[in-house]
Structure 1
Amino acid sequence: MQFEIEMDELDKKLNTAFDGKVVRKDLLHRIKKGTNVPTFVLEFLLARYCASNEPAEIQAGMEAVLATLDENYVRPDEANAAQSRVATKGKHKFIDKVHVRYVEKDKRHWAALENFGSQKVAIAEKFYRDIDRLLEGGIWAEVVIAHNDIDEDKYAFYVEDLRPIQLKRFNFESYCEGRKDFTRDDWLDVILRSVGLEPMKLTPRVKLHFIARLAPLVEANFNFVELGPRGTGKSYFFSEFSPYSTLISGGQATKATLFYNNARGKIGLVGFWDTVAFDEVGGIKVKDPDTIQIMKDYMANGRFSRGAEIIANASMAFIGNIDQSIEQIVRSSEHDLFLPLPPQFDLAVMDRFACYLPGWEMPKNSSAYLTGRFGLITDYLAEAFHYQLKHNNRYEEVSSRLKLGNAVEGRDEKGIKKTVCAFLKILHPGAPASDKEFHEYAEYAIECRRRVKEQMNKRKPDDEFALIDLSYFDASGEEKVVHCPETRGISATLEPSRRRLSGGDDSSSFASVSLPKELTRSVHEESVAVENSISEIEEQHYTISYGDTGHTYESILGPYLTKATEIVIEDPYIRAPHQIANFVRFCETAVKCPTLRNIQLITSYDEKTDLALLNEKIDELKQSLLEIDVVLTVTLNEVLHDREIRLDNGWTVKIGRGLDFYQKPDSWFTIGANDYSLRRCLETKVDIFRTSR
């Protein structure tokens, strides 16, 4: 294996200016192919063992890194062997991602290690008190797990020691001092090599695109969107580059997770991370209109109200795929470049984007673009970005140097200036840029904001966003209008017809692309539809016959849940395991109502009831409901006989047999065993009627 390389001038300057803080990136690529450990974790080990350019030292260092991974990194399929090793040896050090959660029924915190496979590892308060992010999202760490030999304790393992895999100390002044030895273009190449790319293979424009990808990591409350083809590495910077960034991959985005969990009285992800990134943004499900409203408030000024005013610094990055031809979209009179965003992302959300990076211009992932040269240790650069996000405000500097044209409105100005701030922090951390460099960043920032405004203007049926010719004044005082390359001269985008996307003449739309019919249905339209549906549903009284199929909690209750915030369910038979499972399914139906906040269960027990089992399972359900901001309270009443479900929106549902109206399947490997819409029912009456609200 060849370890020796001939250092170029940039390598030599970097090793001199940042001695001990650089690493050969080709070494990372060699190790990375065989493991799913994040880049900053691998480079943490490489910096420890391979901070040299001597082939013999690198050879020994690589062997040490591989031995450390072999000894301390647990793969998910090796969890049982790892637990056995701790039980046999008494303790062992692992490299793993550690989460800590508070379990209400135990009245204590438990650690969970992702690959070690245990969800109940005891952990001392000093660890999660000093490291907040253990409680939100978790961190990668070197963690010593010890075996607990005390039989009376209800846990097998505990955390003896924990050290986050990140720099213990960072000196910003030293970082800025090292930067002085480089020209702007040299430093730009250093940044790109530090993230693993070879700048000599990239055009100047693509280099700026990669710098823009880093902007949410260095500028507080920066709203960023990148849409483009698959396979261009959009999520890498947010999932592996920085320990201060978290990536949400699809699924449902809730206000409890993102912003504030009222049930727990705890701030969400925006309070613990520098950047919250949404991968595959088109697949995000936002069912509660409140989530979108809070997101708008937060994206506008970094604050929101949930009983108390909350202020946070986290930037938001939205990344997703465009499967259609960009040329066809911009030439269409019907569709725009915000096509992949979920329909809940209305114009007010889009208007808060500071920067739309044209992902279609980014190269596909390829080893041809990877560097084999030296770069800053990823964790060191991430610490520099984290420090600047928290402590380095360049907004006044930008405001004093940048004069914008009359077409630039309030949110345009804020977005443009914040993008320029990010470029200055990344490329000029301790000194101002030259006029030429400054205006290069300004022009790029204006283009990225204009891309946002052009698409909003195309989507809006009036002239609210018609001022798209954004401009700035250069050093000579000349006004320069900035254009987006993909739409220059395209009248369908620059001079859109004034009608809604869902109607009108389709003659200029493209036929080769399959597009949703209700792309622009707004939250307001949805709320009108909800109001109409409430007035249309009626009381029902019917019998489910023995052997019937097609009846589920959702088909019976679903239409009546609208706008309910509290559900009270009285059912004496939530005792046996299958009855508790029925109640879980009922809760799964109930929480699909976005306004729901409380579920009250009133049930009973007898001498055969296993109260320990009942309490254990109900506590697990309580815990999972709290994670989505729903509070479950349970009252036991041994003389309860009635069965009734009361909703605080005025509806009452009575099912004669309560929730337990399904027949037991003949076998757990027959149709209907898992899909309850195919499960045969017992005979029961159903009465749904309105009471006073």
Structure 2
Amino acid sequence: KGTGKSHIYSEFSPHGMLISGGEVTVAKLFVNNSTGRIGLVGYWDAVAFDEFAGKKKRADRALVDILKNYMANKSFSRGIETLGAEASMVFVGNTAHTVPYMLKNSDLFDELPEQYHDPAFLDRIHFYIPGWEFEQIRNEMFSNGYGFVVDYLAEVLRHMRDADYSDKYQQYFELSSDITTRDRDGVHKTFSGLMKLIHPTGEASKKEIETLLQTAIEGRRRVKDQLIRIDSTMVPVKFEYRSLGGEWTSVTTLEADEFPELYGVSDTGSSLESGVESSSESNGESNTDSTSDGQSSAILSAGSVSAEKFAVTGTAAAKPFAAVFSADEEKKKLKTGHYKIPEGRKGVSYDILFGPYIAGANRIELVDPYIRVAYQARNLMEFIETVAKAKDASQEVTVVLITKISDEGSDMVSKQAELLEDVQNGATLIGINLEIEYSETIHDRSIKTDTGWLISLGRGLDIFQQFDTSWFDPRLRQQRYRQVKEFEITYMRQAVKE
């Protein structure tokens, strides 16, 4: 709620119509057989059904049947005559439950009226936009400079409506032959629309096109995976693509990556693997390790980093990570490897990323050239807190921060120094000695421990998307509820100096 869904379709373009989902009739939407007057689909480029969700709402069965045919063929019948129209259909609504609740107990279409909770109708939807991934509109999101009159943009987009960019990816990529015609149509329609919005000339780099193609495939896969839950006759599809002549890449949804144990649908009908791209090596026998207390470790992603969940119940929760595993045990179980974490994922924290690798270290060197403003200082303090959780109570740990002095004037230099001094004082309270060094030549971000671990950080500590910093927002205290920016991380072993 509060993400601006309805506002887009009511105010963004004069060629779209937002109507109440409960007020729709066959005569209003398609044609009035008594008067012969055509309905909304004949006058608008897009018709959006507002407040569409609601299990208790009743819908005309005949309207649903006509919608099925219209959404598949852009045509509908009026007596003995078949008419066509070009209006796109958008269905806007709110879910009543959290995503994991819906995945465990029903499906992501659970809140639709019963008549619309029909596999034949849902299969005609091209893309499911996961509204829970969007931030609510806040005052700081509004611009305070010059604005562009949206009517101009609306006319440009209307002028481009007949353009077809659905084949623009084919010079670089191909879709799996396992993808059905209807699934392929959904991917093509979404990809074409995104191209017109973001690259209206039709020209884009291979990387830019790949990003849009992945988005289009993910949105259609979200629809198909829910259909498999609803209708047991639906066959799982391999939503894959590849560079021409290259290796196949599977596209999963974000909720499948976050809750694989609840998602329950894969290309082969079994539980989904995480969407984290990884290449790793390990001295251990298993990806899921158990502590000496019998407690299972948290997994950042299927087949990736083994880590202790710090905020858990049981005897292991009362101990810092270093006390749960001995140094020898950690070396056996922790992995080297490279991982790519996708944009928007939740469930990631410094505790999981770094905790197991810094446990047992007496000296930790953090290289990050951009610790200059308040949120970056907060990231540093949260890293210090992870160090405190990972160390033994009797252990003295020194963290050395190597960063750059701000180049934005003397005021910013003073502010940076003040922030770092505050972090130093806070670190002292939890038994961490924070030393600060400045270097004008550093660029790459990394963490190095005296136990032999080197962690290469693509974005440094700045891996989280912006969020509301109100004291009442749990994301301020719990990193796992934040969405991440896309980032890469590499774990390496080095020889330990005696």
Aligned partners of 1:419, 1:258: CA distance in 2, in Å?
A: 24
Matches of residues 641-656 of structure 1 in structure 2 within 5 Å? none
For the pair 1:485 / 2:254, whether they are aligned, the reply is yes
Equivalent position of 1:377 in the other structure: 149
Aligned partners of 1:472, 1:287: CA distance in 2, in Å?
A: 38
Equivalent position of 2:71 in the other structure: 299
1:368 offset after TM fit, Å?
1.3
Look up the equivalent residue of 2:84 and give its one-letter code: I
Aligned partners of 1:398, 1:303: CA distance in 2, in Å?
A: 29
Correspondence for 1:494 among 260, 264, 269 = 264
Equivalent position of 1:351 in the other structure: 123
Equivalent position of 1:418 in the other structure: 189
Matches of residues 254-333 of structure 1 in structure 2 within 5 Å? 254-283=25-54, 285=57, 287-306=59-78, 307-330=80-103, 332=104
Greater radius of gyration (CA): 1
For the pair 1:456 / 2:262, whether they are aligned, the reply is no
Look up the equivalent residue of 2:32 and give its one-letter code: N
Look up the equivalent residue of 1:484 and give its one-letter code: T
Aligned partners of 2:88, 2:57: CA distance in 1, in Å?
A: 20
Deviates more, 1:423-432 or 1:269-278: 423-432
Aligned partners of 2:255, 2:145: CA distance in 1, in Å?
A: 34
Aligned partners of 2:165, 2:202: CA distance in 1, in Å?
A: 11
Q: Is the Cα contact below 8 Å between 1:416 and 1:446 reproduced in 2? A: yes
Aligned partners of 1:254, 1:351: CA distance in 2, in Å?
A: 22
1:387 offset after TM fit, Å?
1.0
Aligned partners of 1:286, 1:368: CA distance in 2, in Å?
A: 39
SS at match of 1:290: helix
Please tell me the root mean square deviation across aligned C-alpha atoms, in Å. 2.2
Q: Is the Cα contact below 8 Å between 1:423 and 1:441 reproduced in 2? A: yes
Q: Is the Cα contact below 8 Å between 2:22 and 2:59 reproduced in 1? A: no
1:404-441 Cα distance to aligned partner (Å, 9 max, x none): 11331111100001101001111122232221111110
Equivalent position of 2:163 in the other structure: 392
Equivalent position of 2:206 in the other structure: 435
Aligned partners of 1:417, 1:310: CA distance in 2, in Å?
A: 25
Aligned partners of 1:254, 1:382: CA distance in 2, in Å?
A: 28
For the pair 1:236 / 2:7, whether they are aligned, the reply is yes
Aligned partners of 2:193, 2:115: CA distance in 1, in Å?
A: 28
1:367 offset after TM fit, Å?
0.9
1:247 offset after TM fit, Å?
0.5
Higher RCO structure, 1 or 2 (CA under 8 Å, sep 6+): 1
SS at match of 1:324: coil
SS at match of 2:19: strand
1:289 offset after TM fit, Å?
2.1
Look up the equivalent residue of 2:138 and give its one-letter code: S
1:476 offset after TM fit, Å?
5.8
Look up the equivalent residue of 2:158 and give its one-letter code: H
Equivalent position of 1:466 in the other structure: 236
Q: Check 1:292–1:399 CA distance in 2 against 1; reply closer, same or farther (3 A cut).
A: farther
For the pair 1:447 / 2:192, whether they are aligned, the reply is no
Matches of residues 88-99 of structure 1 in structure 2 within 5 Å? none
Look up the equivalent residue of 1:481 and give its one-letter code: S
TM-score normalized with structure 2 length: 0.50
TM-score normalized with structure 1 length: 0.36
Q: Check 1:270–1:398 CA distance in 2 against 1; reply closer, same or farther (3 A cut).
A: farther
Q: Check 1:494–1:474 CA distance in 2 against 1; reply closer, same or farther (3 A cut).
A: farther
Aligned partners of 2:99, 2:211: CA distance in 1, in Å?
A: 25
Look up the equivalent residue of 1:300 and give its one-letter code: A
Q: Check 1:402–1:314 CA distance in 2 against 1; reply closer, same or farther (3 A cut).
A: farther
1:466 offset after TM fit, Å?
2.1
1:251 offset after TM fit, Å?
2.0
Aligned partners of 1:455, 1:374: CA distance in 2, in Å?
A: 43
Q: Is the Cα contact below 8 Å between 1:412 and 1:449 reproduced in 2? A: yes
Q: Is the Cα contact below 8 Å between 1:251 and 1:285 reproduced in 2? A: yes
Q: Is the Cα contact below 8 Å between 1:456 and 1:465 reproduced in 2? A: no
Matches of residues 650-669 of structure 1 in structure 2 within 5 Å? none
1:401 offset after TM fit, Å?
5.4
Unaligned runs of 5+ in 1: 1-229, 499-693
1:394 offset after TM fit, Å?
2.2
1:265-303 Cα distance to aligned partner (Å, 9 max, x none): 121101100110011102495543221111001111211
Aligned partners of 1:428, 1:495: CA distance in 2, in Å?
A: 33
Aligned partners of 2:177, 2:71: CA distance in 1, in Å?
A: 24
Q: Percent identity?
A: 38
1:252 offset after TM fit, Å?
3.1
Q: Is the Cα contact below 8 Å between 2:69 and 2:75 reproduced in 1? A: yes
Q: Is the Cα contact below 8 Å between 1:247 and 1:277 reproduced in 2? A: yes
Aligned partners of 1:369, 1:451: CA distance in 2, in Å?
A: 28
SS at match of 1:248: strand
Q: Is the Cα contact below 8 Å between 1:235 and 1:319 reproduced in 2? A: yes
Equivalent position of 1:206 in the other structure: none
1:313 offset after TM fit, Å?
1.1
Aligned partners of 1:479, 1:495: CA distance in 2, in Å?
A: 19
1:399 offset after TM fit, Å?
5.6
Q: Check 1:305–1:435 CA distance in 2 against 1; reply closer, same or farther (3 A cut).
A: same
Aligned partners of 2:172, 2:83: CA distance in 1, in Å?
A: 32
Aligned partners of 1:494, 1:388: CA distance in 2, in Å?
A: 40
Aligned partners of 2:174, 2:244: CA distance in 1, in Å?
A: 10
Q: Check 1:257–1:457 CA distance in 2 against 1; reply closer, same or farther (3 A cut).
A: same
Q: Check 1:257–1:285 CA distance in 2 against 1; reply closer, same or farther (3 A cut).
A: farther
Q: Check 1:475–1:400 CA distance in 2 against 1; reply closer, same or farther (3 A cut).
A: closer
**Number of equivalences:** 264
Look up the equivalent residue of 1:319 and give its one-letter code: V
